[in-house]
Each structure stands twice: as C-alpha cells, then as structure tokens.
C-alpha cells in the first residue's frame, strides 16, 4: 500500500461517494452547532421540509452571544442576541439534536465542550460553522470550519462536498524554554508562514515539542491553524490523547474502548508519506511572543521593538502602516514599554483549566494594576467549577480580576464584553483584527501567562521576569 499521511488516512476512511471529477462526499462524524451560524440553516431545512439526518451526532450550544455576568439567567438585554439564542433553543429542541442550554453546567464554548464531553475522538471528521473548529484536530481528527450553507448541507445529509487539500508538515523539534507555551508555538508558526501560508493545506504538527504538550496545549496549537490559513491542523493521537479521552461522558467504554484504541493506534503518518510542504522550527528558538499589528502574522518576541512599515515588502508595507496607525504604535518602541488598558483571559484558544492555572501562577500574590479592565472567562461551566475547586478563582478575584461565566466573550465581543476605541488589550484570544474586540480597540495576542504578567505590570511584559 502506498504510504499515507494522517490526513490521507482519515480522508480515505470518510469518503462516502466520489464523483468523476474527484469531488467527494465526505461523511461527517460530529457536527457542532452554535447560535450565530445556524439559524439560517435550520430555517432552510424547515422551508424545504427536510430533517436533521443524524441528530445524535449533532451537538448544539449557545456561546457567542451569551452574557458572562452572573445575572445572565434573566433575559438577555440585547434583543438581537436574545432572538438568536432563543432560535437555537427552539431549533435544537424541534430537530432533536444534543443540546447544552445556557443554564446547563456543561454549557461553554463549543470547541471547549466538544472535547470535554468526549464528543471529540481521534480519527473523526468534525465540522462546525466556526473557523476555530480546527481545535479538535489536536485529537488526530479532521476538523474544520464551514459556512452556513454547508451547515445546512451537513444537517440534511451528514456529508460535505469536498476536494482534498494538500499535506503540510510543521515540525517543532526539541524542548521549549521556560515561559514558552503552546500559544507561543502556534503564534511563532504563523509568524513564519504568514496568514496565507497554510491556504489549501491541512497541517500536521509533529516533533518532540508537540508530542510533549498536554492535550490542552495541543488544542491551543491546532486552534490557530486557521490563522495560518490552513483549514485544519492535526496532531497524531498517542497515549496522551487516549488518557484524555478515557472516561469522558461520550467516549466508548469496555470492549468498544479497546477496539477504538486499537484503531486509533493506526492513525499516524507513515514514515515515507509525502508532504507537499514542510516547515521546521526549533523549540529552543521560540520565545514568549506578542502580536504588534492587526494580523495574527504580526508576531514578535516580547524582547523586540515595534517594526517600521518599510521593514516589510510588497503589499505588506501599506498593511503594516495601517496596522501601526490603528494600533497607535511608534516604530522603535520597545514592546515591553507598551502600556495596556485591559486584559482578557479566555476563549477557545486559551480558556481551559491549564490556561487558568498558568495565569493564576503568575497572578498569585500580586495585584492587577489600578484602572485596568481585567477579566477571566472560563471556557465552560465545568472549567469554571474546577477552577473554583482548585482555588484559582479566588486567586484571580483577590488580584482584582473579574471572574465570569463561560462563553466566547471578549474574543469577539458579540455579547456585552467589548472594548472601547483605542483601548489596548493583552488578550489570550486568537484574532487581532481591526475592531475585533470592539470598534477601534487594540488587541495584542499572547499566552495566558503573558497576559497575566501584563495585568500585574500594566504593560506588555516578559513573563520570564516574573517567574
């Protein structure tokens, strides 16, 4: 048999039909649904008299619009947000899909609760009307975002019309230095490839530094594959993966568990498998990083200075100038001298328990700088509960952080958690686009430990100095 990549293997196992022109119908094992990208799809089903083909493989949760304040179980004030959440509630119940409503302790960001509840397992195909579906690739499953028309297509047929992508391998060799995390890896890779570098590819992350990561770290890495332009990121499953999955509510048990693990052990890229593109970074070379601009590719080590537009070439010169203007930064300024106004710890990138532990470790015994907006938003109700049991919530509260309920929150500000114009935020989220956290707001992406460090100093900070 010809050698195959991990992506090839998962793809081949899911082709339900192949047309003469190579267009495939790819069978979808799990379909995650949230309130923003699904109402038009359910309406489409209703208008054409179609049903959800596999409601038991369809998991719905409201996350983008939900307030994160403690009083959220009363009505959502914003009418449009309320209508959208109510529409999901109605659609989920009417079409009989698996559903975690806002008052369920298991509610949370769709990409946090999928793995948490054991819906995400190795070797699966997973889609969601959300680009950060790439997160689930951490389990060695083929997972990517789709548009609403495709959501409707999957609801109706449990398949997706697809053409195969190319294979790209991103290897991170060696070990990470102190203060360097999964977030720094994934940002460093995007800094290397650019935001279009992965377009048309599925990325497989490998190498010692990747294998050494926990499942949560791996999810952070794969989560931002989309920021590098790749539809999906993958990491081959191993004992770390199996241990994470074992005992999850929807993971197989008994004999089925054994059969599943036997199959999952076959999911790796063969030694001589062909990759169309390979990138290698040394783990030792990666520093704690932050973004300075308005594209996730605008990545620099925290020890660097703000670049000038003419440090770049081609179309990037104008784009960089626009970014500098928008971000209110002067070339030559030390990044560590940039003062911030807000800190956001959360999102599908960094809203898991290990992220909160890493942030709490820096915050413990310290105070958030006076006048800063600072909030911690756990990725799910269960993450929140665990953080409270471990005493992390208390550490954050004592330091002066707001301790919120689960949701997407200030990652994109569809709920009331938004920043004002020119407000500068150290954020653990995934996009620093213009207006992302509120019109005119300025986002610097970084790891939870780095965001925590910025909170206590009031500036972009090298976390290693606080360790």
Partner 1 sequence: MEKFEKMTAIAAPMPLINIDTDMIIPKQFLKTIKRSGLGVSAFHEMRYQMDGTENPDFILNQGAYRNANIIVAGDNFGCGSSREHAPWALLDFGVRCVISTSFADIFYNNCFKNGILPVIVTDEELNLLMNDAEKGSNARMVIDLESQRIETSDGEVIKFDVDQHRKHCLINGLDDIGLTMEKMESIDSFEKKMAKNTPWI
Residues 6+ apart with CB under 8 A from 214: 240, 354
Choice between 295 and 457, CB closer to partner 1: 295
Write out the binding residues for partner 1, residues 347-406 only, by CB under 8 A: none
Q: Residue 17 or 282: which CB sits closer to partner 1?
A: 17
CB of 153 to partner 1, least distance (A): 5
What are the b/e assignments for 336-353, b being 16+ CB within 10 Å? bebebbbbbbbbbbbbbb
Q: Helix, strand, or coil here: 394?
A: helix
Which CB, 87 or 305, lies closer to partner 1? 87
Within 175-214, residue ranges assigned H as helices are 182-193, 208-211
SS3 324: helix
Residue 13 or 304 with smaller CB distance to partner 1 = 13
The token pair at 343 is 């800190």
Please identify which residue in 231, 404, 424, 442 interacts with partner 1, judged by CB under 8 A: 231
Q: Per-residue string for binding with partner 1, 132-161, x by CB under 8 A?
A: -x----------xxxxxxx-xx--xxxx-x
Q: Which is nearer to partner 1, 83 or 467 (CB)?
A: 83
Cβ nearer to partner 1, comparing 322 with 464: 322
φ/ψ of 375, rounded to 5, equals -140, 145
Report the C-alpha gap between 9 and 280 in whole angstroms. 23
Binders of partner 1 among residues 234 to 273 (CB under 8 A) are 251-252, 256-257, 259-260, 263
Which residue in 6, 36, 102, 410 binds partner 1 (CB under 8 A)? 36
Region binding partner 1 by CB under 8 A among candidate stretches 12-20, 377-385, 388-396, 444-452: 12-20
| Distance separating alpha carbons of residues 200 and 166, to the nearest angstrom | 6
Distance CA 466, CA 145 (A): 37
* Binding letters toward partner 1, positions 177-216, x by CB under 8 A: ------------------xx--xx----------------
Find tokens 């990083």 and name the residue.
289
115 binds partner 1 (CB under 8 A): no
Give min distance, CB of 390 to partner 1, in A: 31
Structure tokens at 182: 């999964």
Pairing of strands 24-27, 159-162: antiparallel
- Distance between CA 241 and CA 223 in Å, rounded? 16
Positions in 432-451 near partner 1 (CB under 8 A): 433-436, 439-440
- Interaction of residue 413 with partner 1, rule CB under 8 A: yes
Shortest spacing between CB 352 and partner 1, in angstroms: 21
């Amino acid at each position: 048999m010809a050698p195959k990549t991990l992506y090839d293997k998962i793809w081949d196992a899911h082709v339900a039909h192949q047309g003469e022109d190579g267009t495939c119908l790819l069978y979808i094992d799990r379909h995650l649904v949230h309130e923003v990208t699904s109402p038009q799809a359910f309406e489409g089903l209703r208008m054409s008299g179609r049903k959800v083909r596999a409601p038991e493989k369809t998991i719905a949760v409201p996350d983008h619009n939900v307030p994160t304040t403690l009083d959220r179980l009363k009505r959502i004030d914003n009418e449009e947000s309320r209508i959208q959440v109510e529409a999901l509630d109605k659609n989920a119940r009417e079409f009989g899909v698996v559903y975690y409503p806002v008052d369920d302790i298991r509610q949370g960001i769709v990409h946090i609760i999928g793995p948490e509840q054991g819906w995400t397992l190795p070797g699966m195909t997973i889609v969601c009307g959300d680009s950060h579906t790439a997160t689930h690739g951490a389990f060695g499953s083929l997972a990517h975002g789709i548009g609403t028309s495709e959501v409707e297509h999957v609801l109706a047929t449990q398949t997706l019309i697809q053409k195969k992508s190319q294979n790209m391998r991103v290897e991170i060799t060696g070990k990470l230095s102190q203060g360097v995390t999964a977030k720094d890896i994934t940002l460093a890779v995007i800094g290397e490839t650019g935001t279009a570098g992965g377009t048309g590819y599925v990325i497989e992350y490998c190498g010692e530094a990747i294998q050494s990561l926990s499942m949560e770290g791996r999810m952070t890495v794969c989560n931002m594959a989309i920021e590098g332009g790749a539809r999906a990121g993958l990491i081959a499953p191993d004992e770390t993966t199996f241990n994470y999955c074992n005992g999850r509510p929807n993971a197989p048990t008994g004999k089925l568990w054994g059969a599943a693990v036997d199959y999952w052990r076959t999911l790796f890229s063969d030694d001589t498998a062909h990759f169309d593109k390979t990138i290698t970074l040394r783990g030792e070379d990666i520093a704690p990083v932050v973004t300075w601009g308005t594209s996730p590719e605008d990545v620099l080590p925290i020890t660097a200075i703000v670049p000038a537009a003419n440090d770049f070439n081609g179309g990037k010169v104008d784009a960089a100038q626009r970014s500098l203007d928008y971000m209110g930064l002067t070339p030559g300024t030390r990044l560590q001298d940039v003062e911030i106004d807000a800190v956001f710890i959360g999102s599908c990138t960094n809203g898991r328990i290990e992220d909160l532990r890493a942030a709490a470790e820096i915050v413990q015994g310290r105070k958030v700088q006076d006048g800063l907006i600072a909030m911690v938003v756990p990725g799910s109700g269960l993450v929140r509960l665990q953080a409270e049991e471990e005493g992390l919530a208390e550490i954050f509260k004592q330091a002066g952080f707001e301790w919120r309920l689960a949701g997407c929150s200030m990652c994109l500000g569809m709920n009331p958690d938004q920043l004002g114009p020119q407000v500068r935020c150290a954020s653990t989220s995934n996009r620093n686009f213009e207006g992302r956290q509120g019109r005119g707001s300025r986002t610097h992406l970084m790891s939870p430990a780095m965001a925590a460090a910025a909170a206590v100093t009031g500036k972009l900070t090298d976390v290693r100095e606080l360790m």
